[in-house]
Amino acid sequence: MTNWHGYIGIENVGLNDAQRDTFIDALEELGPDSHPSPACLCHWRTRIDGQAVIFEAMFNEDNLTVQSFKDKLGNIFEVDPETITHSTEQTQYGPVVTFTYTVDRLKLLVFGGIDATWMESGDACRAYLFANIAEWETESGT
């Protein structure tokens, strides 16, 4: 088991509300149960529309694989994870994996990529938030 401290983003592009909530609940459990650094504990920020979340934690890399996400989605849809396909696109913020079951369902962004340091991942996340500030912050800054 290898740990990686960084930021990941999840965007709902085709889950219904119940599926999205179940998936997010599973992701909120990622990360250690305890750690001397609060930054390593799983915490998150939700986009204003509720359809995307950014998580920071000390993740077990085994939980961030394409197959791990297919397994989680397979449980939600009650289908064989092998029937879920994916495509990967490299962006300026890191790789984005789109998971598809009949239609696109979910996008996963690993800020900076899985080999990024905590600071590099954070920098990529902050650049993404700055570029998409209207989607993530109201005029009052929350």
What are the C-alpha distances in Å from 2 to residues 38, 59, 95, 118?
A: 19, 8, 19, 14
pLDDT of residue 135: 95
Among residues 117, 95, 84, which one has the least CA distance to residue 15? 84
What is the residue-level pLDDT of the chain in tens, covering all 142 positions? 689 999 999 999 998 899 888 888 888 888 888 999 999 999 999 999 999 999 999 999 998 999 999 998 898 888 999 999 999 999 999 999 999 998 889 999 999 999 999 999 999 999 999 999 999 998 665 5
pTM: 0.91
- What CA–CA distance (Å, rounded) separates 34 from 28? 14
- What are the sequence ranges of the domains in the chain? 3-136
Among residues 117, 2, 132, which one has the least CA distance to residue 65? 2
pLDDT of residue 58: 96
